[in-house]
Structure 1
Amino acid sequence: MKPILALAVSAVLGLSGCAGAGSFGAGGKTVTIAMVSNSQMQDAIALSGAFERENPGTKLKFVSLSENEARAKITASVATGGGEFDVVMISNYETPQWAHNGWLVNLSDYARRTPGYDEADFIPTLRESLSYQGDMYAVPFYGESSFLMYRKDLFEQAGLRLPEEPTWSQVADAAAKLDDPVSGRSGICLRGKPGWGESLAPLNTVINTFGGRWFDEDWHAQLTSPEVERAVQFYVDLVRAHGEPGAATSGFGECATQLSQGNTAMWYDATSAVSVLEDPESSKVVGKIGYALAPIEQKPNSGWLYTWSLGIPKASHKQDQAWQFISWMTGKPYLRMVGEQLGWPRVPPGSRLSTYQIPEYRAASKAYGPLTLSSIEGVDPAHSTTKPVPYTGVQFLTIPEFQDLGTRVSQQISAAVAGQISVRDALEQSQQYAEVVGRSYRESQ
């Protein structure tokens, strides 16, 4: 892999780390954790007092950031060895690349020395995606694939049915029939917000199942191919005709609100969304949601593979204390604590196999738990498309350049969703971006 191009060294990070090394379990340390501000992470912050009581002298300082902001600040800090953060929330996109670059601490070394941690309990596809040369360099807090969430009651009222693995044509037909602007309800919610981890996450699965790909086997860009254009045109047309208001600025959080508050009939997104949808404290549609596999066109098993995970930057001077916190937040006792104190639907899903054997969780998640697990286990990042490709990854390409390339392309797609440019114009500009990346790989062969 090529090294990630470092972000500007002048990036303002807003925090400074504490210097000084400490031994395992030593007190008087503040561990600074950079996290994405999703609901499961907010639960961890709310429960973190239990960790501090169990580890007197160690204080936790959380930096909770939006998804796009977190990616930028964490990347800038880790790539430049800034040392601002002792624990960083990263994904299976960054982890193997950063491990290759020597930016992360080997967590398998810690896991093997921690009684009861059980590294082998992590779902194999996630464990592999977070590994480099056989060892894990981040451990999953939660894992996800993607599936379709829909209002069972609305489908029944309209006399509509969805198979367990619907096609995108079936989804589009249902969205048209359930779209009800008079009552303020859209037919479907789809991300249109710029960001390689925002709108491109669902859109890339659509491109894959429609037979598209970003590059051919020789790294020639393919974003203006008929397959990609048909997939993107379908996605943009669907969200513009029957999607949520303000789709061009809607991401995961906005769509979660739309469905949980009864303002849309369907949502295609992450399997982890159930923590919001099935929580009586935040959702008006508990018990009314049906779940189906990621919609397909040509290629089956079109769901993505993603995990928000915790890693330790090599620049941290408090690696032992950082691991203490990570092992607490990703361990089996934490999952049970969430279920018992906050409710079983709020347990971080898709990380450990043993979670799906907890009787209380199995009962609470019977509508979505087995589907979540089978979706995650069925993903094959090495064969995400119908045609051969030189990269791995489903909703992202596991190459360093994708962080910038994907963001640029997503900005073009978002403009098309907003009606500012045509899909063809968006893809022609995107093709130019991709050709620059492809050329660098051809020249290095």
Structure 2
Amino acid sequence: MIELIEAKRDGEEHSEEDVRHLISSYVSGEMPDYQMAAWLMAAYLRGLSSAETAWLTTAMAESGRMVDLSAVPGVILDKHSTGGVGDKTTLVLAPLVASCGVPVAKMSGRGLGHTGGTLDKLESIPGFSVTMEQDALVRQLQDIGMVVTAQSEDVDPADKKMYALRDVTGTVRSIPLIVASIISKKVAGCANAIVLDVKVGSGAFMKTEDEARALAHELQRVGELLGRKVVCVMTDMSQPLGRAVGNSVEVCEAIRTLKGQGPPDLTELCLALGAKMLVLGGVADDERIGRDLLLDSIAEGRALATFSAWVAAQGGDANVAENPALLPLAEYATVVTAPRGGYVTGFDAEGVGRAAMLLGAGRETKEADIDLGAGLVLEAKIGDAIAEGAPLATLYASDAGLFESAQERLLASIMIGDDEPEPPVLFHEV
């Protein structure tokens, strides 16, 4: 192992055999954490070529069980977001695309820090189970055309071990290592076409366009090297997506969006990504046709019906689709008002996510519990005129004592000025 560490330290390029040996040795326990930590830092500082990243991705994916979806006909799609605040896109997009005849299979994660997690949002639906055996997963995909589950322990174990180590060794912010982590899970999940939504802005992991663009390009390149159809988009996270930030409050907003009553930015993002997915899935010749198919599905109630079928299939109460009041909501609520009049000119979106955390909706560590009924709903977004004393947001918590710190953090995260700002651009050029 020391030779591989020294080679990368000195800027040399690994062979495919080197990379496979590295990963198999680490997963088997032959290579100790301290040696992998040294290699990760060398890779962080020296970088990896696209070929090395592709080999690393494959070795990680093949370090455990590969999900077998061969019994499901057609192109199977997956979608991944690099994370943000209020990003409930999967809850809308998966049933919307599946309702148009393209299978969607997705392994999702939990929230950490200011970013939310799809699994936490789904678990706010009474009875919903995010764990599933292989046979049940395939049956559900065949029956209703979609499934969203937690990653099982035996899928991509290399990524789990390596990410935990990266988290405590200062090697998280490495584009090759980020790409290998993201794409290895997609390869292990056996989706053959992937739409990747790279977020950019104050609420995103990548704060600048240059960082986000570099990540998007490498995700595309490595995905294609591994034989996957990949589409990358860069979308705005300078303010929360939609208005709800939390868990059950985001599910409620997703349901409204499936009914055609959602906030404009969330609706537009889901239509744009969904149109790309329908083209990849072969049911639409171009994105304009795909968009029309999606709008028809919403108008005819098929998207919402697929959502209900999905919830029921995974043990949840499907009645939430027609009666969102069945979702948990924290006992106490308070309204945050504008300290002055003017226009909302900007957000520190990460700060908004931190405010939701202070209410109990997020976790600082992976082991922490969260309050599925806590969160906040914004009453104003960038460009909205607001009067002094008018509502800015409604906060929900199970302990009224949490409101003071959350309100302080939220007010510090919303900018109000005299001049009407330009509306933020939802899609950035990749």
Q: Tell whether the structures are fold-level matches, with TM greater than 0.5.
A: no
TM-score by length of 1: 0.27
TM-score by length of 2: 0.28
